[in-house]
Structures are given as structure tokens and as C-alpha cells.
Amino acid sequence: MATKSTGTKAGSTTTQGSNGQKKESLLEKFFLDQLKDIYYAEQQLLKAIPEMKTACTTEELEDAFDNHLKQTERQVKRLEKVFEIMGKKAEGKKCEAIEGIIKEAKSIIGETKKGSMTRDAALIIAAQKVEHYEIATYGGLVQLAITLGKRNAANLLDKTLGEEEDTDRMLTYIAEAHINFDAEEEDVKSSSMAEAEA
């Protein structure tokens, strides 16, 4: 099958280098690129999660953020191991997507009342947007690592993928257990209080 010409010699990325070492393929380059993307994202999250934690109304959500912060610290170390397996130094590359999601989380904090249950209901959704971005990235990275024959890297990435999925489920559980309900109630309470005062 013919592929579109890119103007470079076909297969030039998989030929032997002058030192006899196999040069990285285009797929491996893309894999490393995505690895840098998520490494940057996790580091941004190390700064953002504490801010989200401080904004929480309930202790329950605060604990969930706290636990995930500790997990995130371990995830960063795990990514550093994956870089090592790939024979590269760990480095981040600006990820516009996570910056946007974090920006949205911060605006949610600004738009909801401090100490309200609506604040927590909104923070949960903001946090789940983060988790879903991570799940998409780690899910893809696991598959690429398997394709590239990097089993150990795939296992490490899969461990983190599991943690992000667990966190997403945990957040759904917290929301459905009572926070969403309480948030709806608080609206009723505050509006009936306003009516009583009027």
C-alpha cells in the first residue's frame, strides 16, 4: 500500500545509527512525546490538587483529593521510571489540554459559594474531567508500550491507569452518596430562607 510521501527517505527512522544502535521509530517518538505531555500534566496537577483541596466544603472530598495528591506524587516517580526504561531523561512538554481543564476548575471555585455543597458537586465534575484526560492518555500509552515491546513500561503505565480509573469511580461514588443531593437541598433551603426573610 502506498503511503503519502513526506519527502524523507522511507524507513529512515528505523535504520541503524552510526554507533550501531537502533534509532527510534516514529511511533516511539510519538510515545515519548505523549509521555512528556502527561509528565507535564501530572506536575501541573501537583500544584492544582492542593488548591482544589483547600476549596472543598466536605471532609470527604478533601480526603479524596489528599489521597489522590499522594498517588500523583507516586505517578510522577513511575513516569520517571518509564523514561529510564526508554533510555531518556524525564522531561515535560507543555500540555494545553490540562492547562485548560485546570483553568476551568479554578473558575468553578470562583463561581461557587465557599462552604456550599454546590461547590463540592462542581469540584467533583472538574476533577473527573482531569481523570478522564489522564485515563485517555494512560490508556493509549499502555497500548503503545505493548506495541513497542516495552512490557515493563506498559505495566508501570497500567498501574497508574488503574489509579486514575479508581479515582474517577470514587468521585462518582462520593457525588452520588450525598453531595449532589445535599447540593440540591441547599438550593431549596436558601431560597425558602430568602422567601421567609422577604
Nearer to Fe ion, 72 or 112 (CB): 72
Provide, rounded to whole angstroms, the least separation between the CB of residue 49 and Fe ion: 8
Does 123 interact with Fe ion (rule: CB under 5 A)? no
Kindly state whether residue 75 participates in binding Fe ion, applying the rule CB under 5 A: yes
Q: How far apart are CA 147 and CA 31, in angstroms?
A: 10
Tell me how far, at minimum, the Cβ of 53 lies from Fe ion, in Å: 13
**Of the candidate residues 95, 105, 135, 156, the single one contacting Fe ion (CB under 5 A):** 95
- Rounded CA-CA distance 171/176 in Å is 9
Cβ–Cβ under 8 Å, residues 95 and 133: no
Binding to Fe ion by residue 35, rule CB under 5 A? no
Query: Would you say 163 or 182 has its CB closer to Fe ion?
Result: 163
What does the alpha-carbon distance between residue 152 and residue 187 come to, in Å, rounded to a whole number? 50
Check binding of 136 to Fe ion (CB under 5 A): no
Single out the segment in contact with Fe ion by CB under 5 A; choices: 30-38, 56-64, 112-120, 173-181: 30-38
164 binds Fe ion (CB under 5 A): yes
**171 makes contact with Fe ion (CB under 5 A):** no
- Minimum distance from CB of 163 to Fe ion (Å)? 7
User: What are the C-alpha distances in Å from 144 to residues 61, 154, 196?
Assistant: 34, 8, 61
Rounded to a whole number of angstroms, the minimum distance from the CB of residue 80 to Fe ion is 14
Would you tell me which residues interact with Fe ion (CB under 5 A)?
37, 72, 75, 95, 97, 134, 164
